[in-house]
Structure 1
Amino acid sequence: MVESYTPMQLAFSQKVYLDNLALLQGDISKKSLGCIIIFDPESIYWLTGYRSIGYFTFQCVLILPDGKPIMISRQVNHAIALANANIAEFVAIEDTQDPVDILVKVLNQRISQGSLIGLETESTYLNVRSYKRLDAAMQGRLVDWGGVIEQARTIKTPEQLDFMRQAAKAAVAGLDAAVQAVKPGCTENDLAAAMLSGATKAGSEYTRVPLVVTGPATGVCFTTWERRQVQRGDVVFLEAAANINRYHAMIARNCIVGPATAEHKRFAQIVIDALDAAIAAIRPGVTSGSVDAACRSVFESNGLGQYFDHRTAYGIGIGFPPNWAEGRFLALKPDDETILQPGMTFHLVPSLFMPAFCFMSSESVAVTDDGCEVLTDYPRKLIELDF
């Protein structure tokens, strides 16, 4: 007997998901494939609206030339899959079974012998061992597949942009809660707790851990809270994020616990000037590389180019932890000829990671018909907290 579950409320109308499915099935037909298999939780969410924290183990979605998608995942995920109207069938993987064996069995049952299988090979969630075993079982019929979903995700619809505006408000709420919690003697954990609480209360779903770090440790990119106690004179780096229906926005600011020194003010202003330059350069028709150059030139003209050692921005939108970005297929970076179009969304991240501290001011933005919309709204300045 097939169990019946109350349908889950999805973020978009049924038409959106059917259009997405039609896009993939059109590509199957165009490339004469027997099927497509996708693995990224972001891709699966874009196609079906399926969201679960269960993506840390093997799962995939099979798209055939016709009909709705089939999900292959652990048995414990069956309820949430079958409550999703966009998933036609769920094939369970018991914890005693090998997931590749189950996938091979499904493929042998559902697609004709000899037909090619399009595989989302850029996915982080398809490991080498599984790929090799699947390739051997399918006798060389696997072909690299990708780019179709990424291209569709690059331009946000008005609905998606609205979710990102809501996410931006929640991220700002998290940032502000952390700023309000900064005082000598508090810990980084206190600030992280305030940030996560503020964003969650403002509507955010679960997301990747934000960055909360103080003192000299701020100079190390991608470190985060570690129970350090905040001292007077410390630089505090806060990067908050939030998402609504998996669509993300982020914002970062620096605080100084006490009056800022002249050096603090200089570095903070250079970062803000670089951020302003990037925002001013964004408009339809310009290249990604030209916006990066506008931002990067501020650091270089101040003799600090060596400390800005990454791209100016990464694309944002759908994300599942540990990822909150779409930077794998869209970014503002040196010499990139990608032409900006309305509906593209980015997290601008000009920063200076130096041995003694980090300064970074960031904004989430969208390309509009005639320029740039800043989604996040918080004073763009170095925040001095005198006690």
Structure 2
Amino acid sequence: MSRILDMARSVGNPDAARRMAAEGGVTIPPLGLDIKARIAEIDETRMRHDRLARLRAELKKRDYAGALLSDPMNIRYATGTRNMAVWTMHAPGRYAFVATEGPVVLFEFGSSKHVSAGSPTVDETRDATPWFYFLCGPRVAEKALVWAEEVASLVERYGGKNRRLAVDRCEPWGAQRLVERGIKLFDVQEPIEQARMIKTPEELKALQLSMDVCDIAVDRMRATLAPGITENQLWSILHETNIAHDGEWIECRLLASGERTNPWFQESSNRTIEAGDIVGFDTDMVGPFGYLADISRSYVCPGAKPKPEQKKLYELAQEQVLFNIERLKPGLSFREFSECCWPVPEAFVPNRYMMMIHGVGFVDEYPSVAYVADWQDWGFDGRFEENMVVCVESYMGEVGGKEGVKLEQQVLITANGAVPMSRSAFTDAIGLE
């Protein structure tokens, strides 16, 4: 564990950055990143082509004629285009057909086709035929039939006799129409998650850029943390920093303080943070180019020294994350990792985090690595590979305990092991030294 410990300590400690403003407010540090220059360093066209090639290779491996994508994460991966991503997560009127051997056809809202114009990985853009109730009302069945005819004709044209189509989200009445047209439906998540698991060179640059933005946000949050600020006010700094650096959204609202840190998964609130409170958060930040920066930090609000119990919780969580990072290497199976990972003390098992490791790309991705104790219910095997990006998780809080500590580190798996991507204070950040 010494290699990871030294690496983590080398990033420094931003305690001195805290400043209180004259009238009880706080001074938020400047942004400090030339985002335009950093974006220019990434070859987005190459990134789009590389991703599409990986997806097509997975489709071909499974003998699919193509893929029909409605999930905005999958559309982004395959086409490189973005349009109202959060809205289309619940209003799926935008979709793409990716032929395994043939064109990429993007079905875009007619009034916004200009938004995705010029994508180097989209061969044709057509008006979408939305068939959800908000836009269609009582004409859902009619529009679903039109939609199915459009999709089926593409499968027939570019798949020939192969009618095997991989899909992600498809309401039952639409799926029924495709089946009636002789299309065989399969789950696209397996091939696309396998494609997304290994990151291309440009994706790794984009992921690091997103993490660099996240680190700035975390440093600004820590410098701003002071008695009297609310959880929501502190949480807003992450959003503001992300958007100012061409980021996109935050997946969750996971920031809690004091007794709200146990159990975990409390969403940020208007609670006023007090001196000596533990403040924990999980960034879940979708940053520039749509890539995730997912780290968790826990600090003690200034004005009171960390209590012995707080230090104990932090030490345990820190040890779990650092120990497990040290275990990661290419070729290790998920099951082998589960069997050699850090043993959670019995008192903390009931409230442990739901998984030890999960993949990272646009959002949380395959794989999710379960504890051995959960293997029968949730576990599945596979192998860690070079150029995977994963998050190593820990939560320490006893059932009925006053507070808890959440820590998480995002790492790149290299030929020589796992390397943390974040430089924000982690080791001894609660004041253990």
Which TM-score bucket, shorter chain as reference?
A: 0.7 to 0.9
Alignment-derived partner of residue 314 in structure 1 = 358
Q: Secondary structure at the match of 1:119?
A: strand
Q: Secondary structure at the match of 1:195?
A: helix
The Cα shift of 1:64 comes to: 3.1
Gaps of 5+ in 1: 1-8, 319-323
- Does 2:329 match 1:283? yes
The Cα shift of 1:133 comes to: 4.8
Query: TM-score scaled to structure 2, two decimals?
Result: 0.75
* CA distance in 1 between partners of 2:59 and 2:406 (Å): 44
Q: Secondary structure at the match of 2:295?
A: strand
Q: Secondary structure at the match of 2:77?
A: helix
The Cα shift of 1:166 comes to: 1.5
Alignment-derived partner of residue 333 in structure 1 = 370
Alignment-derived partner of residue 44 in structure 1 = 75
- Name the structure with the higher helix share: 2
Name whichever of 367-376 and 230-239 sits farther off. 230-239
1:85-120 alpha-carbon deviations (Å, 9 max, x no partner):
322223323644645233212134434397524132
- Does 2:204 match 1:161? yes
Instruction: Map 1:4-15 onto structure 2 (within 5 A).
Output: 12=43, 14=45
CA contact (8 A) 1:252 1:361 kept: yes
Question: Which of 318, 343, 348 is equivalent to 1:304?
Answer: 348
The Cα shift of 1:305 comes to: 2.3
Q: Secondary structure at the match of 2:293?
A: strand
Instruction: Map 1:106-145 onto structure 2 (within 5 A).
Output: 106-112=150-156, 115-120=162-167, 123=168, 125-135=169-179, 137-139=180-182, 141-145=184-188
Alignment-derived partner of residue 279 in structure 2 = 236
Amino acid at match of 2:414: T
Query: TM-score scaled to structure 1, two decimals?
Result: 0.83
Gaps of 5+ in 2: 1-39, 373-379
CA contact (8 A) 1:277 1:294 kept: no
CA contact (8 A) 1:278 1:292 kept: no
1:300-332 alpha-carbon deviations (Å, 9 max, x no partner):
3x64222214211110012xxxxx211xx2133
- Does 2:215 match 1:215? no
1:358-379 alpha-carbon deviations (Å, 9 max, x no partner):
2112111011111111001122
- Does 2:306 match 1:260? yes
* CA distance in 1 between partners of 2:176 and 2:41 (Å): 35
Alignment-derived partner of residue 379 in structure 1 = 425
CA contact (8 A) 1:239 1:250 kept: yes
Alignment-derived partner of residue 21 in structure 2 = none
1:18–1:206: structure 2 CA closer, same or farther, 3 Å change rule? same
Amino acid at match of 1:119: A
Percent identical across equivalent pairs? 17
The Cα shift of 1:151 comes to: 1.7
CA contact (8 A) 2:148 2:177 kept: no
1:339–1:49: structure 2 CA closer, same or farther, 3 Å change rule? same
1:234–1:63: structure 2 CA closer, same or farther, 3 Å change rule? same
* CA distance in 2 between partners of 1:161 and 1:27 (Å): 20
1:196–1:33: structure 2 CA closer, same or farther, 3 Å change rule? closer
The structure with higher relative contact order (CA 8 Å, sep 6+) is 2
Question: Which of 35, 58, 67 is equivalent to 2:102?
Answer: 67
Alignment-derived partner of residue 249 in structure 2 = 206
Alignment-derived partner of residue 226 in structure 2 = 183
Alignment-derived partner of residue 34 in structure 2 = none
Alignment-derived partner of residue 236 in structure 2 = 193
The Cα shift of 1:39 comes to: 2.3
- Does 2:289 match 1:245? yes
Matched length:
364
Please, what is the CA RMSD of the aligned residues? 3.0
CA contact (8 A) 1:173 1:199 kept: no
Amino acid at match of 1:235: I
CA contact (8 A) 1:296 1:312 kept: no
The Cα shift of 1:206 comes to: 2.8
* CA distance in 1 between partners of 2:322 and 2:174 (Å): 46
Name whichever of 374-383 and 343-352 sits farther off. 374-383
